[in-house]
């Protein structure tokens, strides 16, 4: 089954404790992206990757890091999480670029205390 | 920069009512336009898209027409069902772009 998986689905952590949210897709897509969803703000793009070893900032990259060492994986790293990073996070992938249909993961709900 | 404005919700309709969710956009070039839908507890999924002026995207009874003259991409459905209850997002991406810009979303609730 073609899908995008994220782990964990739910995470409660404390300020400053480094964490990683994993994202994996099995569709051989070149493009992957991370979004955060906040009430009243919709979805905002954090980082995206055009292909292996090629990443770029989205609209709200501060406080986040990403890497793309393999085509299928695109982890999101919070080196020192803060309460304003409490949000619902989605990973997405597409064949090539944001102008193609993006397939979204189920989401990761993160709470930073 | 690019932006998308969609009508604020929530919108509550009775089953079989007509639905319109307004969406207008600002873009520097000639974007592709999308409607994504998010069912409760799930990720987003593409509902329909249009890539050039006057294109009509359609899926599952939903339609939207790319209107360049009014920079709009309104979502319509003639007869909604309870199963259509979800959050609907209008979005755009400039040709060849790696960024997708979303509107804030409109929550639709359909009551029997």
| Among the ranges given (B54-58, B70-74, B97-101, B102-106), the one the predictor scored with the smallest mean pLDDT | B97-101
**Nearest chain A residue (CA) to B95:** A99
- pLDDT(A56) > 90: yes
Query: In this complex, is the C-beta atom of A54 within 8 Å of any C-beta atom belonging to chain B?
Result: no
Q: Are strands B56-59 and B62-65 parallel, antiparallel or unpaired?
A: antiparallel
Q: How far is A18 from chain B (nearest CA, A)?
A: 25
Q: Which residue of A has its CA nearest to B3?
A: A44
pLDDT in tens, B96-108: 778 899 999 999 9
Question: How far is Cα B84 from Cα B66, in angstroms, rounded to an integer?
Answer: 22
Instruction: Select the residue of B51, B89, B94 nearest A42 (Cβ to Cβ).
Output: B89
Q: Using DSSP bridges, classify how beta strands B86-93 and B101-102 pair: parallel, antiparallel or unpaired.
A: antiparallel
Instruction: Name the band, by pLDDT with cuts 50, 70 and 90, for residue A13.
Output: very high
- Binary contact (B104, A92; C-beta < 8 A): no
* Nearest chain A residue to B7, by CA: A40
Residue A97 confidence class, pLDDT cut points 50, 70, 90: confident
Alpha carbon B8 to its chain centroid, in Å, reads 12
- A98 to A27, A106, B13, B77: CA distances (angstroms): 15, 18, 32, 26
Cβ of B49 and A101 within 8 Å? yes
CB-CB: which of A40, A45, A50 is closest to B100?
A45
pLDDT band at A23 (very low <50, low <70, confident <90, very high): very high
DSSP state of A70: S
Q: Any chain B CB within 8 A of the CB of A40?
A: yes
In angstroms, the Cα distances linking A60 to A56, B5, B38, B78 are 11, 19, 21, 37
Number of residue pairs across A and B with CB atoms under 8 Å?
Answer: 60
pLDDT computed for residue B111 by the predictor: 97
């Amino acid at each position: 089954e073609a899908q995008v998986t994220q782990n964990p689905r739910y995470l409660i952590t404390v300020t400053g404790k480094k964490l990683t949210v994993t994202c994996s897709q099995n569709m051989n897509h070149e493009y992957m992206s991370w979004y955060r969803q906040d009430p009243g703000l919709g979805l905002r793009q954090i980082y995206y990757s055009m292909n292996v070893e090629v990443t770029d900032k989205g609209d709200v990259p501060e406080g986040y890091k990403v890497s793309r060492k393999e085509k299928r994986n695109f982890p999101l790293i919070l080196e020192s999480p803060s309460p304003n990073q409490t949000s619902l996070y989605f990973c997405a992938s597409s064949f090539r670029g944001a102008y193609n249909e993006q397939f979204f993961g189920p989401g990761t709900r993160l709470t930073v205390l | 920069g690019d932006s998308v404005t969609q009508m604020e919700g929530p919108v509550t309709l009775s089953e079989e009512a007509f639905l319109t969710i307004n969406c207008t956009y600002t873009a520097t070039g000639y974007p592709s336009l999308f409607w994504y839908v998010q069912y409760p507890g799930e990720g987003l999924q593409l509902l329909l898209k249009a890539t050039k002026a006057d294109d009509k995207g359609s899926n599952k009874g939903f339609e939207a027409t790319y209107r360049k003259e009014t920079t709009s991409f309104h979502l319509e459905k003639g007869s909604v069902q309870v199963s259509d209850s979800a959050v609907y997002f209008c979005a755009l991406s400039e040709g060849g772009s790696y960024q997708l810009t979303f509107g804030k979303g409109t929550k639709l609730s359909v009551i029997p």
